[in-house]
Chain A
Amino acid sequence: MAARKTTKQPADKPNVSADELKALYKDMLLIRRFEEKAGQLYGMGLIGGFCHLYIGQEAVVVGLEAAAEEGDKRVTSYRDHGHMLACGMDANGVMAELTGREGGYSKGKGGSMHMFSKEKHFYGGHGIVAAQVPLGAGLAFADKYQENGRVTFTYFGDGAANQGQVYETFNMAALWDLPCIFVIENNQYAMGTSQQRSTSSAEIYERGKSFGIPGEAVDGMDVLAVKAAGETAVAHCRSGKGPYILEIKTYRYRGHSMSDPAKYRTREEVQKMRDERDPIEQVREMLLTGKHATEDDLKAIDKDIKAVVNESAEFAKNSPEPALEELWTDIYA
């Protein structure tokens, strides 16, 4: 049950077909372009409140969704737009929720941080740091109770990893062999506090050891490495061996939220990551050098995605605000 570290997925031996690689590229690019558009709409005042962008972290959720099966569940924090797009939720519905309109997934009543889709087994979108961790274990508890063979991806950040309820949950998940994959999206900054300044352990996944939960660190800028690790974790959970921890080392390019000036790190640090480690550029390179796609193919993909994103923005601007009666609905079932 010892924790172990994965190496990177070697680029010359991708664990996917050319078509799958293209699909991963497309899924990541959709998130990137969607988030850029969301940032723009926020700047125009069309999106209010808090808005946490996923730019830079796209490989995490896209890689893991590639390892999931129909019916598997997922739950995450407030940095949730990428997770929703990756599990197949409609870009229009997500964007319209961001603008607080009737056409949004929560009819405009949830906002950026609180969105759900029963149909896609997406259980939120939770605004309280780490609250989604026991909730995710609870979803896995229900799967085990119902003996349906499903697993739950429970995403949280390196900041959330210091909340006590995470360890309460690790304990019970291990005790009860819950089919739960704890995905630590380690983007190195808990809002403005770096991991070095907030976290006693260099490898957060190793904290699972004391509960007997196996885990590994994964290169989160490499979507194929994420997918491979996801497959290991899913196989472990689905076979009834209990929870598994993936600490995925990633990086967010933007501030913690739209109103974060991000003075706790240098512009050069961000630029270096973008230039050298960008998850989308890496796959783009792989597609071109492996001759799986031409520049024109990629341009066409780019164009398609722009169309989807622009349509979502138009939909989100034009969808009406919720009727005032909505104030009083959905309080009680």
Chain B
Amino acid sequence: MATEILMPALSPTMEEGTLAKWLVKEGDTVKSGDILAEIETDKATMEFEAVDEGIIGKILIAEGTEGVKVNAAIAVLLEDGESADDIVASAPAQAAPVEAAPAPVAAASAPAAPIVDTSPDWPEGTPMKQQTVREAIREGMSEEMRRDDTVFLMGEEVAEYEGAYKISQGMLAEFGAKRVIDTPITEHGFAGIATGASFAGLRPVVEFMTFNFAMQAMDHIINSAAKTLYMSGGQMGAPMVFRGPNGAAARVGAQHSQDYAAWFMQVPGLKVAMPYAASDAKGLMKTAIRDDNPVIFLENEIMYGKTFDVPDVEDYTVPFGKARIWREGTDVTIVSFGIGMTYSLEAADKLAEEGISVEVLDLRTIRPMDTAAIIKSVMKTNRCVTVEEGWPQGSVGSYISSVLMQEAFDYLDAPVINCTGKDVPMPYAANLERHALITTDEVIAAVKQVTYK
């Protein structure tokens, strides 16, 4: 049966091209792989090969013709025994109609009372213990390694050195070198190896000595870990945790002092936890390890030694996507997370002395984000200040502002203010560093501004 040879699309964007030159003539016998013609696309001159074998029966488009549409018939190929007289001209194939994109769902202008999980993290009367954030993270990891032997810890200095920040102290002794693994200084490589191991069913916990070094591993975190579940149509994903200290420590300069919360928050496929209190560090760590998705777990060096009450129970977990109300108030809502909570709570204490009642929300996880809790609180207070150490442009706070503007505009009595770190690389000098970071005074000033006091 005679087949039409169609004008090919030879680039992702080509819609038409020039048939520059025929390299065969009518009557020629061709086999697959033979070059039939040269075609000029919008980018280059390409050779066009035959796919089927046969005889060139008729050339329909002369060489030199410009503007030949993709899929227009340019020649007819005959099988043995057919004659060019058999050819019946046919209309060029029609391009498939493009399906109209669905209209975006309009955001509700004012929310009905949002549904917020306000259940307490632990029942009243639960026995408590005092624990540092460092101990809580270690206990969370160790408990999960005891209950699931596919969980392992890898990173620089995690085993024999017992952790650059002593998070993994004692873990090599308990779990052995098979499950607590020292890596060379090679973040890109070991992040990739851990991601591959997670595809095969293990649950790696990858420690970055600090998240600044995770920039070397960014491709595997985003392209390999976060996107594979989607790209595989749900067949395989990366159940793993990337963890380590994030944000400014003290006097370590620009390359070691960056808060990555806003960066990771942007990526569908990742979850992002950033605990403040030790109980949350433990409970969120256990949830992170059990989660079937890649979780970014952002710790803070300054917080490691801080002590909090932690429930002294067998298996304490904290769900993702549930904010914690640290302090109830009526005049303004402060939304924060991680070390930003330190400034927020301090500011709330001082403002209370001046008669301003502040509600303080700790997001605990940035993605998923408990926006319902934020909206519910703002519906009560009508004012909001966000607090974080990261940079202002594209900050977590700017996202919260946009959510409030779209979903709670009618409830706002003042513009939302984002208290962030300054828009500068972190300086080394002690006085400059203090000014580059967020301060409690700035949070207080922001609250007074939105409450017009």
Using a CB–CB distance below 8 Å, which chain A residues touch chain B? 36-37, 39-40, 42-45, 48-50, 55, 73, 75, 104-110, 114-118, 123-128, 131, 133-143, 145-146, 164-165, 168-169, 171-172, 175, 253-255, 258-259, 261-263, 267, 274, 321, 324, 329-333
18 A-B pairs with C-beta separation under 8 A: A43-B10, A55-B33, A105-B233, A106-B232, A107-B233, A110-B231, A116-B233, A123-B199, A124-B228, A127-B223, A128-B224, A139-B196, A168-B190, A171-B186, A259-B11, A321-B99, A330-B232, A333-B229
Binary per-residue interface labels of chain B (139-167) against chain A in the complex, 1 for a CB within 8 Å, 0 otherwise = 00000000000001000000000000000
Q: Does B44 contact A (CB under 8 A)?
A: yes
Binary per-residue interface labels of chain B (180-202) against chain A in the complex, 1 for a CB within 8 Å, 0 otherwise = 00011010111111111111111
**Pair A43/B8 contact, Cβ less than 8 Å:** yes
**Pair A134/B46 contact, Cβ less than 8 Å:** no
**Pair B189/A165 contact, Cβ less than 8 Å:** yes
Stretch from B78-86, B130-138, B234-242 that touches the partner: B234-242
**Pair B196/A142 contact, Cβ less than 8 Å:** yes
Chain A residues whose CB sits within 8 angstroms of the CB of B233 once the complex forms: 104-110, 116, 330
Given the known inter-chain contacts A44-B71, A109-B233, please indicate yes or no for A253 contacting B33, CB distance below 8 A.
yes
Given the known inter-chain contacts A135-B199, A324-B102, please indicate yes or no for A171 contacting B184, CB distance below 8 A.
yes
Inter-chain CA distance A145–B102, complex, in Å, is: 47
Inter-chain CA distance A175–B202, complex, in Å, is: 20
**Pair B292/A333 contact, Cβ less than 8 Å:** yes
Could you say which of B33, B102, B198, B236 contacts A116, with CB atoms under 8 Å apart? B236
Given the known inter-chain contacts A44-B71, A110-B233, please indicate yes or no for A37 contacting B51, CB distance below 8 A.
yes
Chain B residues whose CB sits within 8 angstroms of the CB of A136 once the complex forms: 196
Inter-chain CA distance A261–B35, complex, in Å, is: 12
Could you say which of B178, B229, B237 contacts A145, with CB atoms under 8 Å apart? B178
Inter-chain CA distance A331–B294, complex, in Å, is: 11
**Pair B228/A332 contact, Cβ less than 8 Å:** no
Q: How far is the CB of B21 from chain A (nearest CB, A)?
A: 13
**Pair B197/A138 contact, Cβ less than 8 Å:** yes
Q: Does B49 contact A (CB under 8 A)?
A: yes
Inter-chain CA distance A72–B231, complex, in Å, is: 22
**Pair A169/B193 contact, Cβ less than 8 Å:** yes
**Pair B71/A36 contact, Cβ less than 8 Å:** no
**Pair A142/B10 contact, Cβ less than 8 Å:** no
**Pair B192/A139 contact, Cβ less than 8 Å:** no
Q: Does B424 contact A (CB under 8 A)?
A: no
Inter-chain CA distance A36–B268, complex, in Å, is: 36
Could you say which of A106, A169, A333 contacts B293, with CB atoms under 8 Å apart? A333
Q: Which residue from chain B places its CB closest to the CB of A45 in the assembled complex? A: B9
Inter-chain CA distance A221–B157, complex, in Å, is: 45
Q: Does B109 contact A (CB under 8 A)?
A: no
Q: Does B57 contact A (CB under 8 A)?
A: no
Q: How far is the CB of A50 from chain B (nearest CB, A)?
A: 7
**Pair A333/B189 contact, Cβ less than 8 Å:** no
Q: Does B230 contact A (CB under 8 A)?
A: yes
Of residues B10, B199, B232, B271, which shows the largest number of chain A Cβ atoms within 10 Å of its Cβ? B232
Q: Which residue from chain B places its CB closest to the CB of A322 in the assembled complex? A: B233
Q: How far is the CB of B13 from chain A (nearest CB, A)?
A: 9
**Pair B231/A114 contact, Cβ less than 8 Å:** yes
Q: Does B255 contact A (CB under 8 A)?
A: no
Q: Which residue from chain A places its CB closest to the CB of B237 in the assembled complex? A: A333
Chain B residues whose CB sits within 8 angstroms of the CB of A142 once the complex forms: 196-197, 199-202
Q: Which residue from chain A places its CB closest to the CB of B48 in the assembled complex? A: A43
Q: How far is the CB of B72 from chain A (nearest CB, A)?
A: 11
Chain B residues whose CB sits within 8 angstroms of the CB of A321 once the complex forms: 99
Inter-chain CA distance A260–B191, complex, in Å, is: 33
Chain A residues whose CB sits within 8 angstroms of the CB of B71 once the complex forms: 44-45
Inter-chain CA distance A135–B219, complex, in Å, is: 12
Q: Which residue from chain A places its CB closest to the CB of B204 in the assembled complex? A: A138
**Pair A36/B32 contact, Cβ less than 8 Å:** yes
Q: Which residue from chain B places its CB closest to the CB of A43 in the assembled complex? A: B8
Inter-chain CA distance A110–B219, complex, in Å, is: 18
Known: A43-B6, A171-B189, A258-B10. 16 other contacts (CB 8 A): A39-B49, A107-B233, A107-B234, A123-B199, A134-B192, A139-B200, A146-B201, A168-B188, A172-B189, A259-B10, A261-B45, A262-B47, A331-B230, A331-B268, A333-B239, A333-B292
Q: How far is the CB of A62 from chain B (nearest CB, A)?
A: 19
Chain A residues whose CB sits within 8 angstroms of the CB of B11 once the complex forms: 258-259
Q: Does B70 contact A (CB under 8 A)?
A: yes
Give me the 9 closest cross-chain CB pairs, A-B, nearest first: A138-B196, A134-B192, A43-B8, A168-B189, A142-B200, A333-B292, A259-B11, A135-B196, A106-B233
Q: How far is the CB of A314 from chain B (nearest CB, A)?
A: 15
Inter-chain CA distance A140–B197, complex, in Å, is: 8
Q: Does B1 contact A (CB under 8 A)?
A: no
Binary per-residue interface labels of chain B (430-442) against chain A in the complex, 1 for a CB within 8 Å, 0 otherwise = 0000000000000
Chain A residues whose CB sits within 8 angstroms of the CB of B152 once the complex forms: 145
Q: How far is the CB of B362 from chain A (nearest CB, A)?
A: 23
Chain A residues whose CB sits within 8 angstroms of the CB of B12 once the complex forms: 48-50, 259
Q: Does B95 contact A (CB under 8 A)?
A: yes
Chain A residues whose CB sits within 8 angstroms of the CB of B271 once the complex forms: 332
Q: How far is the CB of A302 from chain B (nearest CB, A)?
A: 11
Q: Does B210 contact A (CB under 8 A)?
A: no
Could you say which of A50, A108, A165, A255 contacts B192, with CB atoms under 8 Å apart? A165
Q: How far is the CB of A225 from chain B (nearest CB, A)?
A: 24
**Pair B9/A43 contact, Cβ less than 8 Å:** yes
Q: Which residue from chain B places its CB closest to the CB of A254 in the assembled complex? A: B49
Inter-chain CA distance A333–B184, complex, in Å, is: 31
Q: Which residue from chain B places its CB closest to the CB of A253 in the assembled complex? A: B33
Chain B residues whose CB sits within 8 angstroms of the CB of A143 once the complex forms: 200
Inter-chain CA distance A105–B234, complex, in Å, is: 10
Which residues of chain B from 306 to 352 have any CB-CB distance to chain A below 8 Å in the complex? none
Chain B residues whose CB sits within 8 angstroms of the CB of A134 once the complex forms: 188-193, 195-196, 220
Q: Which residue from chain B places its CB closest to the CB of A136 in the assembled complex? A: B196
**Pair B44/A261 contact, Cβ less than 8 Å:** yes
Chain A residues whose CB sits within 8 angstroms of the CB of B232 once the complex forms: 105-106, 110, 114-116, 124, 330
Chain B residues whose CB sits within 8 angstroms of the CB of A126 once the complex forms: 223-224
**Pair B197/A169 contact, Cβ less than 8 Å:** no
Inter-chain CA distance A274–B188, complex, in Å, is: 39
Q: Which residue from chain B places its CB closest to the CB of A33 in the assembled complex? A: B32
Q: How far is the CB of B90 from chain A (nearest CB, A)?
A: 15
Could you say which of A42, A108, A138, A329 contacts B234, with CB atoms under 8 Å apart? A329
Chain A residues whose CB sits within 8 angstroms of the CB of B421 once the complex forms: none
Q: Does B212 contact A (CB under 8 A)?
A: no
**Pair A131/B10 contact, Cβ less than 8 Å:** no
Q: Which residue from chain B places its CB closest to the CB of A108 in the assembled complex? A: B233
Q: How far is the CB of A188 from chain B (nearest CB, A)?
A: 18
Q: Does B41 contact A (CB under 8 A)?
A: yes
Given the known inter-chain contacts A134-B192, A172-B189, A331-B268, please indicate yes or no for A141 contacting B197, CB distance below 8 A.
yes
Chain A residues whose CB sits within 8 angstroms of the CB of B95 once the complex forms: 45
**Pair B229/A330 contact, Cβ less than 8 Å:** yes
Q: Does B93 contact A (CB under 8 A)?
A: yes
Q: Which residue from chain B places its CB closest to the CB of A38 in the assembled complex? A: B51
